[in-house]
Structure 1
Amino acid sequence: MPIIKKLKRHLEEFVSSELTPLSDQGLKPGVHPYAHLRPQGLEKNSSDRSSFEETYKTSYSHGLEQIYALETVDVKSIRVLGSSSEKENLQIEPLVEYSDFDLENQLEFPFKEGQSSLDSFLLNEPLSVLGFSKHTENNLRRLEKNRIQDLLKIDLRSLTHVKGMGQGHIDEIRERLNQYIAGKPLYGCKFIDFESWVKTLLPENEKKKVFIVLDYFDLSHLISLSPFESVELRKLTVEKKQEWLEDGLDGFRTDEKKRYFEDTFKHVLESLIVPWMRQRQGMVYGYELEERFEKLSLNRSSFKKAWAFFQKIYQEKGNLIDSFLPNSKGLYFADRKIHENFELVNQKALSYFYSQEAEYPFNQLVDYILKEFACRWQGFKEGFVAKAVRSSPSLEFKKEKGILLSYLK
């Protein structure tokens, strides 16, 4: 058979052949004498040696080399599941330092002297407004985290080491918190969120009684009840509902709640109201103050409801502002010094009316008063005397022939 004969002839030539020096064979040093017998694709030389990986790729291929390619894994890049290489801060950048904040008093308000703006009342709202699951809320309270600002000051990664808190609970906290505060200013606020202010005063217990109180002032939308709790309230008798209303009001009138409300109200006055009053000689009427509060309200539709709520609970007699600003017969003053100066000017003005029929042109009366005080080297801010005389509760004014006249009431 031709194939067998051909193989036999080649074998005989190979056996009978004698090896000769490389130089005689015309081969270059470093070249194997039988290199010509190697299969194609396996040639290699000393100057360019292929790696083992290239050798097995060229000798055998199954088409999956890229999938099963060897990779070098940096052990340092491996991290624990559920942790983050960057500090989690709820995507909220703190704008205020809380180094001076007293963590022991959960109802303390972060005041700063001389500021003309407020930190949002939202920071001091209780955790119940976020609608956490009972398990999550109880765990946070166990850690003494009772207000929204408490959550903003912690690193969520630390909660993974707390018994009963898992990644699912942390995700719940982050999601609910971000949804609740999305788009709302937290610091340096120029307006007053009265609904949020009411929420900061919510008692932690007796949720159904709190709901009845808020419903009395048409503020029930500030708190949510379960379907079972709603059905229970609808079944209450009128007498029982009135009883729960009184109990709920007492929950808002604790010493701690009263002290917190007084502190926050004073701070609102000092930050947003008193500077405005000083631009008006430091004296305004009560109705002007209420109008100013309404104008500063973030939601004007809820202002009157919240104002009635504060009035009923914390100042049943008189005007809500009476306890916070010096006042006289419906007129309110920025400070006691302005009040004293007003009384001096008012007394001096009344001294010119020797009879019920006496009357003076307004500008002339103001000049008389200024000259009399000047003789005693006592002066006032420009425009103060005119404003004091005009605001006097004992005088009336009428215009005749273009001249404003003043006379006794």
Structure 2
Amino acid sequence: MTGGQVAALIGGGMAGVHAAEVLRRDGFDGRVLLVSAEQHLPYDRPPLSKALLRGELALADCLLRPPEWYEEQGIEVLLGVSVDALDPGRRTLRLSTGEQVEFDRALLATGARPRWPLGLAPGCGPVFALRTVDDCLAIRSRLRSGASVVVVGGGFVGAELASSAASLGCRVTMLEAADAPFQRVLGRTVGELFGRFYATGGIRLVTGVQVTGTSVGPEGARLTAGDGRFWDADVVVVGVGVVPNTELAVDAGLRVSDGVEVDAYCTTSAPHVFAAGDVANRPDPVLGRRVRIEHWQNAQHQGTAAGRAMLGIREPFDGVPWFWSDQFGLNLQVAGFPDRADRVVVRGRLEGDRFAAFYLAGPTLVAALGVGCAGEVHLSRRLIAARAHVDPQRLTDEHSDLRDALLASDVPTA
């Protein structure tokens, strides 16, 4: 029986909600406390750059669970409250309200915050980052038809926002430091392909840009590059990555590198404290090194795994990462670790709206990207998890079943 115990979940995102759900589902009958610094009930983040930004959904449509679910499950939610201190030895939390909470097990699901490389702070005039629903609503209020929008950073959130803004009639420019969008993650060939998609979607893409200065006025902002070029905008959205929220863990003396370090069971260096989601840095058996994954699917599944670990159910979490992006009428899906590859082979025509790119490290499939090819990506996830050796020629053959590419005798058994 766990009736007298307390499970404290720090963070109101995907990982925290799924941990709470599995705690109740698998028999925890003690107190479940979910502490969120945001004023809103936990919500789904993908619509922030898409349907919610375009005004096609309301916030109520984006909630991870309806309000009554928390009451039905006996989950106590504290909104607009942060945790100021975590003491793993005494097993206590000090809340921003001044209250001290004793816990038996705690989960760090504190997520991440936007990186600000321009010397600006959140809420600086017309300059925004897109991370929260409040960010989304503030940006949406400025996306009138004809408005000039500059997106700094050619990553997935920036691309989705650019696509949404263009669909609302905005004039959109995307500034990317690399030679092509997604180049660091997906490679130059695929990045240049997406650059062409953006042009077709009405986006002005400028690559090789290092923004070195920003001036903000009452009506807009001017961004200046190191070579003297400048861009004026009614709205600027900075999307150059995120920083994990590790301050609480650092102050608590937990082991932290790029994120809060956990083992295969989501346990931190303190045995009764767990971590999951964007903030967690875990060992990956495929890569043979630690990784911190910032995807929706990872937060969902790792939150579930952490909840079970909090119950003493020791099942290693080692899922192959997978995520999707909807932009410019295309559905893009990626599985695995593209940055580990030494070559890329393609099935289909890169110029079309349906193709798959397979990323290989030697003979081993380490990642797959699909546009309109969800089945190929999901099958690839299983091959990546098996560290499968594949036949590149069969991968590229559109008439061959992808499973025929598997060299069964070469699948590592370790």
Same fold by TM (over 0.5)? no
The structure having more radius of gyration, on CA atoms, is 1
Which of the pair is proportionally richer in helix?
1
Q: TM-score, normalised by structure 1?
A: 0.22
Whose RCO is larger (CA < 8 A, sep 6+)? Answer: 2
Which of the pair is proportionally richer in strand?
2
